[in-house]
Amino acid sequence: MITWKLIPFTQLSNIELYQLIKLRVDVFVVEQNCPYPELDGKDTLADVYHLLGYQGDELVACSRLLPKGTSYPSVSIGRVATLASARGSGLGHQLLKQAVNECERLWPTEPIEIGAQQHLTAFYQQHGFKQTSEMYLEDGIPHVDMLRECN
CATH of the domain at 100: 3.40.630.30
* Residue 33: per-residue pLDDT: 79
- Give the integer Cα–Cα distance in Å for 26 and 72: 25
Quick check: 116 and 143 in contact, CB under 8 A?
A: yes
* Residue 102: per-residue pLDDT: 97
* Residue 142: per-residue pLDDT: 93
- Over residues 134-149, the pLDDT tens digits come to 999 988 889 999 999 9
- Over residues 10-55, the pLDDT tens digits come to 999 999 999 999 999 999 888 887 777 778 889 998 899 999 999 9
Quick check: 2 and 61 in contact, CB under 8 A?
A: yes
- Over residues 103-126, the pLDDT tens digits come to 999 999 999 999 999 999 999 999
* Residue 125: per-residue pLDDT: 97
Q: How many domains are contained in the chain?
A: 1
Q: Give me the domain span that covers residue 35.
A: 3-148
Please choose, from the candidates 76, 84, 98, 86, the residue with its C-alpha nearest in 3D space to the C-alpha of residue 145: 76
Model pTM?
Answer: 0.93
> Does position 93 have pLDDT exceeding 90, yes or no?
yes
Distance of CA 51 to the CA centre of its chain: 8
* Residue 8: per-residue pLDDT: 96
Quick check: 42 and 64 in contact, CB under 8 A?
A: yes
